[in-house]
Structure 1
Amino acid sequence: MSPAEGATAERATAERATAEARRARFGALPERVAFADMVEERPPADRPTGAYDPDGSSVRFSCLAVDLGL
Structure 2
Amino acid sequence: MSEESMSDAAAAARHARYGRLPERIRFEDMTVETEAAPSAVKSAYDPEGSWKYYSCLVLDLGL
Q: TM-score, normalised by structure 2?
A: 0.55
Alignment RMSD: 2.6
1:50 aligns with 2:44: yes
Equivalenced residues, count: 48
Q: State the 1:50 CA deviation.
A: 1.2
**Runs of 4+ with >4 A deviation:** none
**Match runs of 1:13-52 below 5 Å:** 13-47=5-39, 48=41, 49-50=43-44
Gaps of 5+ in 1: 1-8, 58-65
Gaps of 5+ in 2: 47-52
Percent pairwise identity: 35
Distance 1:19 1:38 in 2: 33
2:50: which partner in 1?
A: none
Distance 2:35 2:3 in 1: 57
